[in-house]
Amino acid sequence: MKKYKYLVINGCSQTRGQNCHVDKIWGKLLADKYGLELINLATPSAGWNSLEDTTTNFIHNNKNIIDECFFILQKSMLEREFLYDYTSICRTDVWEEYNINYVPKRTLTWLGYDNLNHLFEKLPFKRKDDLEQRNDNYNIFEDFETAAKLKYLPEHKHYPNSRNGWKLREDDSVYPPYIHDQFNQLMLHWGRRMLSFHLFLKSLNIDHIMVDGYSPFLSYKLNFKNYYDTNEEFDYVNKFWGTETDDPDDEMVYDFKNTSAGYLFDSIESKYKIDDVVLWSLYQFKHEKIWNDDGGHAGPKGMEILCDVIEKNIKEKGWF
């Protein structure tokens, strides 16, 4: 087992700490327990793209100490720093014979649709065998909101942060008709990114572990461990992320447990991931500010919970 000198952490505000003293954040608490120097690369509001880039740059410029570093990488929200233009989330029927129903916006500008009525109504089109298709219809297919009907990624049924532009309604102009398939495409995207980055780190013999911050990715199976004070709180967490609801008007947007991209998260070895918890859920349902500062960020007591849960996992997996 390596003898570590540095704890390197990366993620979003949940790892950087927000409205919480720098000495009280979970990374500092954990580093102090093991006598390590903390290096906090996290940035508030950052997504996985930032995490990959800043972590890679740290590795590239600090090769002399990498063997003394242990990395903890926190995945943020589903929609943060998501590149719609280059990700397969736009519906097409041109490649359906190859079981490809979704392509990036850039690809859609060239492919268009064979049978538009099969997908969306009242939108003019030309067939794929018309070589001039792009000239007359480029603006149609370039208009992502019209072509894909997904202006913003919808929120989870209970998610209290309403920074996104809308919630689900009956109006088709707001409710994307293929949102469940598009969700699976997003999970495919993030599963590929997390698995590839894990394999990159492993190929360099860099010790690391990944954990979910605000949404279930690694923990998509919802096999959560009871880290909670009461069984009632644990039951509520399971209901929160599941498809069960007490509200007949409640629309479940994300069915994490049945994502078809789960095999990618499963391909990350158990030792390198924490897949039985979403960190945000550990303090979210405790209403006192010492636990839950503002609905989205841990107070000092919340940070202690995060530290304890992460420590239990890295010890059980044999890292320390």
Same domain, 240 and 135: no
Same domain, 291 and 204: yes
Q: Which of 78, 76, 57 shows the shortest CA–CA distance to 66?
A: 57
Same domain, 115 and 232: no
Q: Answer whether 43's CB lies under 8 Å from 320's CB.
A: no
Q: Could you give the CA distance from residue 39 to residue 198 in angstroms, rounded to a whole number?
A: 19
Residue 101 CA neighbour count, 13 Å, CB half? 10
Same domain, 292 and 218: yes
Q: Does an H or E element contain 193, and which?
A: helix 179-203
Q: What are phi and psi of 185, to 5 degrees?
A: -65, -35
Q: Which of 9, 12, 1 shows the shortest CA–CA distance to 311?
A: 9
Q: Which of 308, 239, 228 shows the shortest CA–CA distance to 274?
A: 308
Residue 246: domain span:
6-81+185-316
Q: Answer whether 305's CB lies under 8 Å from 284's CB.
A: no
Same domain, 199 and 277: yes
Give the pairing type, strands 90-91 and 102-103: antiparallel
**Integer CA distances (angstroms), 194 to 188, 278, 317, in order:** 10, 16, 19
* Residue 1, domain member (yes or no): no
Cite the DSSP H helix spans in 34-71. Answer: 48-61
Domain-terminating residue out of 120, 150, 179: 179
pLDDT given for residue 39 in this prediction: 98
Convert the pLDDT of each residue in 65-114 to its tens digit.
999 999 999 999 887 877 777 889 888 888 999 999 898 887 887 777 77
Residue with the two structure tokens 């014979």? 97
Q: Could you give the CA distance from residue 7 to residue 37 in angstroms, rounded to a whole number?
A: 6
* Residue 97, domain member (yes or no): yes
Same domain, 196 and 62: yes
DSSP class of residue 96 equals G
Domain-terminating residue out of 139, 155, 179: 179
Q: Could you give the CA distance from residue 221 to residue 231 in angstroms, rounded to a whole number?
A: 19
Same domain, 210 and 284: yes
* Residue 257, domain member (yes or no): yes
* Residue 13, domain member (yes or no): yes
Same domain, 104 and 142: yes
Q: Could you give the CA distance from residue 112 to residue 100 in angstroms, rounded to a whole number?
A: 14
Q: Answer whether 149's CB lies under 8 Å from 177's CB.
A: yes
pLDDT given for residue 80 in this prediction: 80
pLDDT given for residue 135 in this prediction: 43
Q: Answer whether 7's CB lies under 8 Å from 37's CB.
A: yes
pLDDT given for residue 125 in this prediction: 47
Domain-terminating residue out of 179, 202, 220: 179
Same domain, 161 and 201: no
Low pLDDT (below 50) residues in the chain: 121-126, 128, 133-136, 160-161, 165-166
Same domain, 17 and 159: no
Domains: count for the chain: 2
Q: What are phi and psi of 112, to 5 degrees?
A: 65, -140
- Beta bridge partners, 37, equal 6
Determine if the pTM surpasses 0.85.
yes
Same domain, 56 and 190: yes
